[in-house]
Amino acid sequence: MSGEPDLSPVEMSEKAVQVGINKANWSITRLLVLSVLAGTYIAFGAIFATVSTAGAGGVLPYGLTKVISGLVFSVGLILVVVGGAELFTGNMLMVIALADKQITMGGLVRNWVVVYIGNFIGSVLTAVLVFYSRHYFFNGGSIGLAMLTIAESKTALTFFNAVSLGVLCNILVCLAVWLTYSAKSVTGKILAIIPPISAFVAAGFEHSVANMYFIPMGIMVKLGGDGNFWNLIQKTPADFPHLTISGFFINNLLPVSIGNVIGGVIVGLAYWFIYLYRK
């Protein structure tokens, strides 16, 4: 652990501005590769969360199951922050640099668009790899059933329900990233990440990049699972009616992404106003 003192909120604000400047000036190639990695890392957290709670229904209390899921999912953001990668939801904090007039709106939008695309590629490619590994057959098909159940619940949301859940989610995600700006050690960054990320998952809030894995994974199992799998879980594809391509994009990804932007911008502008506006 570092012997240096952690940063104060004022110093964190100044660091956030410098981080935003750096991100706005990176090449598209660098942004794309780092964002594909981030999509993969968040997918790993989603895989961990799926496995940790598969078959837990009726065995563990609902709340405890959700807390376990949140704790293990936090590995995704830990990999992003400590390993170094570009995550769309965390990059909402670039609005601090924009509000401080250190980057342009064009630089901000360029980063968000490239990173969003890269996150999508990384998440979906990971889902494809997991599907072809036949991971959904593990433990008598309980992993596949969990994949289907999670994805179905996400695609069954109404538009404004999904937006609201997205706002709440990214307030916590951006707070997690914000807190890591204070830490000068790997241990400090990890400890800053786990509580807010565990909280958003346990509460059932919606994260666009995680859903880029969860929902395509469920769709692939629904469309590609063979008869043996459906016999194992004693379900049919008709039991998951919302789990479609349109359900993915219209019912979830679009409104959740909108909500994530709103939530992240709220956090960024609040801290800019408190610590940098008067300067």
- pLDDT digits 0-9 by tens, 164-187: 999 999 999 999 999 999 999 999
pLDDT mean over 207-218:
98
Structural domain range at position 163? 9-275
CB 155 within 8 A of CB 165: no
Mean pLDDT calculated for residue range 149-169: 98
Q: Report whether pLDDT(2) > 60.
A: no
Per the domain annotation, does 1 fall within a domain? Answer: no
- In this structure, is residue 4 part of a structural domain? no
pLDDT tens track for 76-104:
999 999 999 999 999 999 999 999 999 99
Tokens representing residue 63 in the block: 């709340």
Is 1 a residue whose pLDDT tops 80? no
Indicate whether 3 belongs to any domain: no
> Could you give the number of structural domains in the chain?
1
The mean pLDDT value of the chain amounts to 96
- Res. 111: pLDDT tops 60: yes
pLDDT-based confidence at residue 60 (cuts at 50, 70, 90): confident
Q: What is the DSSP letter of 7?
A: P
Q: Is the pLDDT of residue 154 over 50?
A: yes
Tens-place pLDDT, residues 30-50:
999 999 999 999 999 999 999
- Do the domain assignments include residue 137? yes
**Residue 141 counted as domain residue:** yes
Give pLDDT, residue 3. Answer: 58
Residue 125 maps to which CATH number?
Answer: 1.20.1080.10
**pLDDT, position 147:** 98
Using the structure block, give the residue that is written with the tokens 């904090």: 93
Cα(172)–Cα(181) distance, rounded to whole angstroms?
15
Question: Is 2 contained in some domain?
Answer: no
- Residue 278 has a pLDDT of 75
* Amino acid 279: pLDDT: 64
- Whether 165 maps to a domain, the answer reads yes
DSSP assignment letter at 61: -
Mean pLDDT of 129-143: 97
**What CA–CA distances, in Å, run from 209 to 118, 143, 166?**
10, 20, 11
The answer to whether 253 and 211 are in contact (CB under 8 A) is yes
The residue assigned the tokens 């199951």 is 65
In-domain check, residue 132: yes
